[in-house]
Structure 1
Amino acid sequence: MTGSGHRIEDAGQREEALTTGLAEFLAGCPPLDALSEEELRRAARTATVERYRAGEVILDAFDASSGQLFVVREGRVNIWAHADRLSELPDETAGPRSLFGYTAALMGEAVGPLAAALGEAVVVRLDADLVARAFSTRRGAEFLTRRVSASTRQRAGIPLYTVVADLIVNPPTILEATDSLRAAAQRMSEMGLGYCAVRLSPASYGLVTDATMRDAVAAGVAIDRPLADVADRHPSTVRPDTSAAEALIRLLESDADLVLVTDAAGTLRGALGPRDFVVSSTTAGASLHEQIRRADSVADLQSRYRRVPAMLSDLLSRGLEPSRVITVHSAIVDTVIRRALDLVQRRFDDLDPDVFTWLSLGSNGRREAVLSSDIDAAASFTDGMSQADIARYLPLFSEVAAVLQAAGLRHDSHGTGPTNPTFARTHAEWAAAGREWLTHPTQDDAIIMTCMLVDARPIHGDLGLTEVATVFSGLRRHPDTMRLLLRTAAPRRGVMRRSALPRRRDRELDLKKQVLLPIVNIARWAALTVGDPALPTRERLGAAAGSEMLSTEDAATLRDLFEILQGIRLRHQVRQLDAHEPPTDTVQLAALSTPDRTLVLEGARDIAAIQRRMANMASFVLPELSPGPAPAAARQAADGPRRAARGSRPAARGSPRAAGGSRESATGTGRSPDRAP
């Protein structure tokens, strides 16, 4: 029920102004701005404008449902979203143009909130039926999704702004670069810490850890050697005001023991390891990652990874953004792969693990792996190794693949992995193959391989810039390849036509192929046009925002859509696992909530519009890339770069025209399945 506010009649000029410009005022209130002018005028004609005194209850939707929703016109309103916390501070304070009461109005149930004026306030009451359409638009669905996420965080009692400074317990232990290893060992023992920082300059620090000490002793380094000779000179660092979640992700991605905390002046404030993050409610899962990192057997590793889906579900329920949850998952997958390589290597003690670099491809290469993602990978070997030398490593890679599969990580059954000789080459061979793909992009699977290798990220071995990455850094100088990649990102006929999406609620939708992959392709191409090396899709869109080919507004739209759609995808897969079903990317429209279904369908329309603008703009901005008839390779890549996985090693050792020109995949069917984002 509503409170006893005083309805504003025609009591002076100021009061009249509050009612006469009401339609225009509502047009500035998201998501009501999605309504037409006529709909806004109709809502304004039946609206009631009321003034409330300080502390007066405006709405108590815990007591009874309401057919109205409310907009703050002037002043501020305190809102309690949970019936068991009415004696506590309000969950939020809403200012002008803020909406409340929409949940109870749309659901027709007494689900809250309680709203009371903070000081004097003017509030507009609207007939919910007249503005309900606003919540079935994409903007309305986004509004509801974000509000539900915020409410979830509040319900869980999670501090929204837990920062690194809150986690520092001990002051830093700092030694000079000229101090010896012996001095560091003594100091670390005295302080009971597993590290010491090494002052390299007034505002620069290196890092020595227990692991550093063990490695130095094993290598025969004298105990009196100065720390400058053994310290990590480029440790991961964060600022004290960095969120705990961001700092943990930095730690996981670097696979480091510690991250240093330095302030804006470069002063060292402390150091944090995985165990320090366990106390932060925003970084749940840190302890599980540490257990995976230290698993002492294959069985232990597999058992611990099987707990990861539940951890992801917990992170989502706690309100961590889906993109952050997915990044944490990708970092954990990296750790599982590294640990699997270490553990399996023990059974192949005649093989040197330092002669190859493991490259993660596809979604995990972009740090976007979800529960349905395949483990796509390649291996790049030290130059000089023969085909026979490399073949000795294939059983090792096969056993690693089996370990990952048994743990619950999907192994790519179509040959996109180092068990396939096509994806196990020397550095020089990868570089030669890359140059061949750039020179002849229309031949065989060149454009498909280019898409995969542009997304490659090393996670084991040499973590620097790989040979193939160096080749592709000059991709913009190859207009034929850029033209084909443009057709992948913005095909002339448009893979995102809304008419191609299912209309009936009982139809299935492929979230990956039909709505996410087009964004991935756009982001990859846009980042290449500006020469940015970023891999994650949202970072690529941010880097290309405001460029000639991608406006700031379009980039922001795609970033928001990618975040929301990935969240829909991940929540769908968590629900499948809860029901003891394998995670997939297909979902029935009827299984989606109304806001999610609206976001998917309206998002598809927005993506298609952006694709059309990019294709049209290219003919003016980049006339050399003006699209003509698209060859088959570009059409295949637009549907998702298909597996370029052949069953035999290329005869030319680097040419994509492999095995006598055979187009057969590793399965021998001649088909190349769609790639997963």
Structure 2
Amino acid sequence: MNFVHPVDIDALVEFLRLCPPLDTLDAKRLARAAERATVTPYGTGEVILDAFVQPERGLYVVWHGRVSVWTNPDRIRELPAYHLGPTEMFGYVATLLGEAVGPRVAASGDAVVVHLDPDLVDPVFATRHGAQLLAREIGTSRRMMAHGAIPTYTLVDDLIVTAPLLVEPTTTIAEAAARMEKTGLPYAAVRQENGGYGLLTDADIRRAIASASPVTGEVSTAMQTDPPSIRLGSSAAEALITVLESHGDVVLVTDRAGGLRGAVASRDFVVSSTTAGASLHEQIHRAETVDDLKDRYRSVPGMLTGLMARGLAPSRIITVHSAVIDAAVRRTIELVSEQYPDLSPDAFTWLSLGSNGRREALLSSDIDAAASFDNALDAGEIAKYRPMFLKIAEVLEQAGLAHDRHGVSPVNSKFARTHADWARAGRDWITAPEVDDAVIMTCLLVDGRPIHGDRGLPQVTRVFGDLRMHPRTMSMLLSASIAQSSRPAPWRRKKIDLKAQFLLPIANVARWAALSVGSTALPTDERLLAASGSDMLTEPDATALADAFDAVQGIRLAWQMEQATADRTPTDVVRPEHLTPVDRAILAEATRVVTSSQRRMGNMARFIMPER
């Protein structure tokens, strides 16, 4: 052991025993680690580790004092991202990934740091506690960047350059225009009674003037009442796609609580290096022919690989991917419908179901869908659309999207009904959940999201708004969500199905939990957040499930990118030998999290759920 402080091995062993996940090591391994450790004192500002330059292998633990940590190489000159104190560790992410992903660490005042042998790192993080720590830190597989180590202007947060301009609804248009001119902003957010925000842009003011509306009128007469918005932490690509899909120029940015934090306009995106997804989205949106669309969509794997290389978080990459899928489906509907002039594309709403409905689709995902028709059409008229839907499925398949034309697809008459028929079917499923496949259909439609036609809440989805008032149906849905067969099978097998064994069980729990609190959220993480702290889902369980979901999605994304790069068809099935010890530890931890959460929900249901 190399050290400057007067410390013996026994004292170091006792200290290491206080540092999770090192506390999982037996006495013999701890003693060996202490014997091979280096203990070094540092003065204020002295650099301990700069893993952006080159990852120095090993595991660092703060013994005395405090250290400052920078997680973004572009922000080294700014304040540190956070500080670490005694028993807290760093450096393991770069060691495990073998990449220069950071962080940079320097002493905050006098500090003493223990540097442990790199051979200790893999065994430590292969334990349950080690996997928990790693999942919280990176939530990814070996090819992902460390949390926070991403280029400037990757996130929408980086694009907000000034405080938001917020006005009251009684402010006059002229007043708002003057304030916009003074601040140099192309918009004014308008406070609304429901707690949300309206939006007034330069374009809105020009339209008001063109329609001869008096500029002395209130902004509420000219503003957008339901403007596009996005949360802090979203990628710049997501924000730009939101702007493009709204056919506007400005998107509001809010925090998780819904508070206004700023806005970004089209001009703000020129500094971002991660808007390739938005560029491809727009190219697909403007495709002039079916062949053109197919060619452009085939570049999606390359776009996803590029976003990964720039360090964008897996969850953000997947959201961008889902938006590009939406654009491809919408444009396919528009182009194919031109070949059927006697059929109106305005007569139906296209509902995206399943993982893409939840905005969680990857390259291997089936594009499940349904169509909801205008009530004026009868069964015979709806049947005339079947050839068009078959052609849509064919184009999507040729472009690289797995569209099931015989199963969950508008090609199947079971998934092509009028608005009224869907609503009637939904009520039947709720009142008689044991009949046929009522539970399966309910789960599919609850995940429904309209991407063509009427973008409002579909009638069938509105039917499920009071689902929690039907205890028998809720009990059956809960049973399906926490059933033994739904639990992840032991991962020590010849093949691991990342979706079926890990992701679907979490998505099922999240769906049920969200329904139990009346939430209409679709993404799994948002559903878990909405139900967190409820009678059936504790806050620790919700957080652990969300962490596990993100971590496994990261592993799944990396695996599919690896397959796509090798020109293999992306799948959810992977052999254990293709995973690192850390990946396997994360999967083992995900198994434990899901099964324990399911068990607790089942136990709580006996006391909380009303009688059937």
Instruction: Please say whether Structure 1 and Structure 2 have the same fold, judged by a TM-score greater than 0.5.
Output: yes
Task: Please tell me the residue identity of whatever aligns with 2:518.
Answer: G
Partner of 1:8: 6
Aligned pair in 2 of structure 1 residues 402, 151: CA closer, same or farther (>3 Å)?
A: closer
How many Å apart are 1:492 and its aligned residue?
A: 4.7
Identify unmatched segments of 5+ residues in structure 1: 11-18, 185-189, 626-677
How many Å apart are 1:398 and its aligned residue?
A: 2.0
Partner of 2:402: 410
2:250 to 259, 275, 285: 259
1:471 to 446, 463, 466: 463
CA RMSD of aligned residues (A): 4.9
Aligned pair in 2 of structure 1 residues 294, 562: CA closer, same or farther (>3 Å)?
A: same
* Distance in 2 (alpha carbons) for counterparts of 1:178 and 1:104: 55
How many Å apart are 1:80 and its aligned residue?
A: 10
Task: Please tell me the residue identity of whatever aligns with 1:518.
Answer: P
Pairing of 1:133-282 with structure 2 (within 5 A): 133-141=123-131, 143-144=133-134, 146=137, 157-158=151-152, 163=157, 165-166=159-160, 205-207=198-200, 223-224=211-212, 232-237=224-229, 245=236, 248=239, 251=242, 255-261=246-252, 272-273=265-266, 276-282=268-274
Give deviations 1:233-260, integer Å, cap 9, x for gaps: 3212468x76653861771696443334
Partner of 2:340: 348
* Distance in 1 (alpha carbons) for counterparts of 2:54 and 2:378: 77
**Given the alignment of the two structures, is residue 52 of structure 1 paired with residue 44 of structure 2, yes or no?**
no
Partner of 1:604: 591
**In terms of mean alpha carbon deviation, does 309-318 or 445-454 score higher?**
309-318
Aligned pair in 2 of structure 1 residues 608, 388: CA closer, same or farther (>3 Å)?
A: same
**In terms of mean alpha carbon deviation, does 62-71 or 381-390 score higher?**
62-71
* Distance in 1 (alpha carbons) for counterparts of 2:486 and 2:259: 50
How many Å apart are 1:321 and its aligned residue?
A: 1.4
Aligned pair in 2 of structure 1 residues 401, 44: CA closer, same or farther (>3 Å)?
A: closer
Question: Does structure 2 conserve the Cα–Cα contact (< 8 Å) formed by 1:78 and 1:92?
Answer: yes
For the residue of structure 2 that corresponds to 1:163, the secondary structure is helix
Partner of 1:26: 16
Task: Please tell me the residue identity of whatever aligns with 1:450.
Answer: T
Partner of 1:428: 420
* Distance in 2 (alpha carbons) for counterparts of 1:358 and 1:619: 39
How many Å apart are 1:393 and its aligned residue?
A: 2.1
How many Å apart are 1:98 and its aligned residue?
A: 3.4
For the residue of structure 2 that corresponds to 1:351, the secondary structure is coil
How many Å apart are 1:204 and its aligned residue?
A: 6.0
For the residue of structure 1 that corresponds to 2:588, the secondary structure is helix
For the residue of structure 2 that corresponds to 1:281, the secondary structure is coil
Partner of 1:515: 502
Aligned pair in 2 of structure 1 residues 446, 318: CA closer, same or farther (>3 Å)?
A: same
2:411 to 416, 419, 428: 419
**Given the alignment of the two structures, is residue 557 of structure 1 paired with residue 536 of structure 2, yes or no?**
no
2:380 to 380, 388, 403: 388
Question: Does structure 1 conserve the Cα–Cα contact (< 8 Å) formed by 2:160 and 2:264?
Answer: no
Percent identical:
47
How many Å apart are 1:621 and its aligned residue?
A: 2.1
Task: Please tell me the residue identity of whatever aligns with 1:26.
Answer: L
How many Å apart are 1:526 and its aligned residue?
A: 1.2
Give deviations 1:586-631, integer Å, cap 9, x for gaps: 1111111221122113321331222222212211222636xxxxxx
Partner of 1:524: 511
How many Å apart are 1:50 and its aligned residue?
A: 3.6
For the residue of structure 1 that corresponds to 2:351, the secondary structure is strand
Pairing of 1:497-516 with structure 2 (within 5 A): 497-498=489-490, 501-503=491-493, 507-516=494-503
Give deviations 1:178-220, integer Å, cap 9, x for gaps: 989xxx9xxxxx9xx9x87797999965457879999x9xxxx
Aligned pair in 2 of structure 1 residues 158, 416: CA closer, same or farther (>3 Å)?
A: same
Question: Does structure 1 conserve the Cα–Cα contact (< 8 Å) formed by 2:239 and 2:251?
Answer: no
Partner of 2:87: 97
For the residue of structure 1 that corresponds to 2:488, the secondary structure is coil
Give deviations 1:438-471, integer Å, cap 9, x for gaps: 2221221111111101111111222222211121
* Distance in 2 (alpha carbons) for counterparts of 1:296 and 1:555: 45
How many Å apart are 1:310 and its aligned residue?
A: 1.2
Question: Does structure 2 conserve the Cα–Cα contact (< 8 Å) formed by 1:204 and 1:266?
Answer: no
For the residue of structure 2 that corresponds to 1:410, the secondary structure is coil
Aligned pair in 2 of structure 1 residues 234, 60: CA closer, same or farther (>3 Å)?
A: closer
* Distance in 1 (alpha carbons) for counterparts of 2:162 and 2:52: 42
Partner of 2:525: 538
Task: Please tell me the residue identity of whatever aligns with 2:265.
Answer: L
* Distance in 2 (alpha carbons) for counterparts of 1:574 and 1:108: 18
* Distance in 2 (alpha carbons) for counterparts of 1:302 and 1:207: 37
Aligned pair in 2 of structure 1 residues 229, 348: CA closer, same or farther (>3 Å)?
A: farther
For the residue of structure 2 that corresponds to 1:7, the secondary structure is coil
Aligned pair in 2 of structure 1 residues 237, 136: CA closer, same or farther (>3 Å)?
A: closer
For the residue of structure 1 that corresponds to 2:391, the secondary structure is helix
* Distance in 2 (alpha carbons) for counterparts of 1:547 and 1:110: 41
Question: Does structure 1 conserve the Cα–Cα contact (< 8 Å) formed by 2:489 and 2:501?
Answer: no
Task: Please tell me the residue identity of whatever aligns with 1:481.
Answer: T
Task: Please tell me the residue identity of whatever aligns with 2:589.
Answer: E
1:589 to 561, 576, 582: 576
**Given the alignment of the two structures, is residue 333 of structure 1 paired with residue 328 of structure 2, yes or no?**
no
Task: Please tell me the residue identity of whatever aligns with 1:435.
Answer: R
Aligned pair in 2 of structure 1 residues 258, 164: CA closer, same or farther (>3 Å)?
A: farther
1:295 to 287, 291, 300: 287
Identify unmatched segments of 5+ residues in structure 2: none
**Given the alignment of the two structures, is residue 374 of structure 1 paired with residue 366 of structure 2, yes or no?**
yes
Give deviations 1:122-150, integer Å, cap 9, x for gaps: 12344566675321124424545645778
**Given the alignment of the two structures, is residue 74 of structure 1 paired with residue 64 of structure 2, yes or no?**
yes
For the residue of structure 2 that corresponds to 1:374, the secondary structure is coil
Aligned pair in 2 of structure 1 residues 365, 111: CA closer, same or farther (>3 Å)?
A: closer
Aligned pair in 2 of structure 1 residues 293, 31: CA closer, same or farther (>3 Å)?
A: farther
How many Å apart are 1:230 and its aligned residue?
A: 7.3
Question: Does structure 2 conserve the Cα–Cα contact (< 8 Å) formed by 1:77 and 1:121?
Answer: yes
Question: Does structure 1 conserve the Cα–Cα contact (< 8 Å) formed by 2:25 and 2:124?
Answer: no
For the residue of structure 1 that corresponds to 2:323, the secondary structure is helix
How many Å apart are 1:553 and its aligned residue?
A: 1.1
* Distance in 1 (alpha carbons) for counterparts of 2:70 and 2:173: 58
Question: Does structure 2 conserve the Cα–Cα contact (< 8 Å) formed by 1:447 and 1:485?
Answer: yes
2:349 to 346, 353, 357: 357
